[in-house]
Structure 1
Amino acid sequence: MSLLDIDYERVLLVKPEVFVYRIPPRTSNRGYRASEWKLDAPDWSGRLRILAKGEKLIIKLEDKNSGELFAACPVDAYPSSAVESVTDSARYFVITIKDESGRTAFIGIGFVDRSDSFDFNVALQDHFRYLKKDEELAKQPSLDTEKKLDLSFKEGQTIKINIGKKSETSSGSVPRPKPSGSGMPILLPPPPGSKSTRTPNTQTQQTTSKPNASSNLLDFD
């Protein structure tokens, strides 16, 4: 099934612990540096989930106990300005969050383990790689639109079939072979039967709660 045809929300990644940092505004075109953040004093910590529905993808930061939404980051492409890696570490990123009114803000996020940041990166890359592949397949002509082999007769075209006469030998009677032995026909056993069972596949759908308002520490534009 194509990603474009999926109409339910899928959970691509769950990380039970992520840290959020208030970051200084960017003053030049150079990339963000995590060393300029207060890494020893994060402003918030909680759970991170990456969710996808069709081609849409969203990163949600939630309270690890109640599941209450802290911030959400819609991602339309990756890499993009929605999610940027910092220049001095593989464990920190800058994401663009949006509230329900459409206002945006930039915050830093970080993981304790490098493997968590690797999983975060891969989940984003895989989604958009599969999406690109689906779009390319959709552009290819289907088998129905391809030119089919024309086996119909053209105008004035005929076909001639010669049916030969039966030979004298074929029309005569053929003597039947005499049964041998006891005269009982030999019956072959039937082929062995096979039974197979199929186990239906089940598909677990996971849904998420409706986003709530973000925390007051976020500076939305």
Structure 2
Amino acid sequence: MNALSDEIESVLFISREVMVYQVPPRTSSSGYKAADWNVESFVWKGRLRVMEVGDRCELRLEDGSTGELFAQVNYASPWTQVEPVLDSSRYFVLRVEGEGGKRASVGMGFQERGDAFDFNVALQSASKRSNPSSESNQASGPPKPVAPPKDYSLKEGQTFTIKIPGREGKRAGGGGSGGPSLLGEGGGGGGMFALPPPPPPGRRG
């Protein structure tokens, strides 16, 4: 039996439509800007659920119709795996980890500012429950993001496969693919569901 199956799961937040983007290398040590992305062309579109599982928090990017897992972030501390961009309140950078410890930074965007606000509230709530002593430090808002020691942005033409431990073989009748993947070539989204570009730098969206 898998011990994880006995853990209680609760939904902290759900957004039925988020977009995932290829993120170019950061141009500033202070953080990312959505204006540097091609926000009119996303690589994936689906549902986001923020789950509390036992004593941890998981961000799950899933197919909105089938529930198939596309990528997952294990959220441990504020603004480490999730980083807000500098020029918009609707866009974030997620740091996902795949098979063999490979890491990648991907962009995520919300259609509505209200969803982005509720997403922040859910993460702060999860952080306070897992680390009550940090509550006073979080009252003034998230700290300024710092540059990671390495640039994990997906390069053009690079393929990144994400496999979540303990989840393989759980879906009956799967028959198709070998596991969720993130393609860094910009395919699969296109301008069909194009987002309006974020406001210019210096003005929050």
TM-score over 0.5 for the pair: yes
**TM-score, normalising length from structure 1?**
0.58
Equivalent residue, structure 2, for 1:55: 55
Please show how residues 12-27 of structure 1 align to structure 2 within 5 Å: 12-27=12-27
CA RMSD across the alignment: 2.5
Deviation at 1:134, TM superposition (A): 8.2
Deviation at 1:131, TM superposition (A): 2.4
2:167 to 210, 213, 219: 210
How many residues were matched structurally?
141
Structure (1 or 2) with the greater strand fraction: 2
Larger Rg: 1
Q: Alignment identity in percent?
A: 41
Q: Work out the CA distance in 1 between the residues paired with 2:95 and 2:54.
A: 21
Higher relative contact order (CA 8 A, sep 6+): 2
Q: CA deviation at 1:68?
A: 0.7
48-57 or 64-73: which moved more? Answer: 48-57
**Where does 1:1-40 land on structure 2 (aligned, <5 Å)?**
7-40=7-40
The residue aligned with 2:191 is none
Task: Specify whether residues 76 and 218 from structure 1 end up closer, same or farther in structure 2 by C-alpha distance, changes over 3 A only.
Answer: farther
Report the TM-score, using the length of structure 2 for normalisation: 0.62
CA distance in 1 between partners of 2:167 and 2:64 (Å): 16
Call closer, same or farther: CA 1:135–1:7 in 2, change over 3 Å.
farther
In structure 1, runs of 5+ residues without a counterpart are 1-5, 137-208
Closer, same or farther: CA 135–39 of 1 in aligned 2, 3 Å? closer
Aligned mates of 2:56, 2:105 — CA distance in 1: 20
Deviations 1:105-126 (A, max 9, x none): 1000000100000010000001
Aligned residue runs from structure 1 range 168-207, under 5 A: none
**How much does 1:29 deviate?**
1.0
Contact 1:46 1:62 in 2 (8 A): yes
Q: Match for residue 108 of structure 2?
A: 109
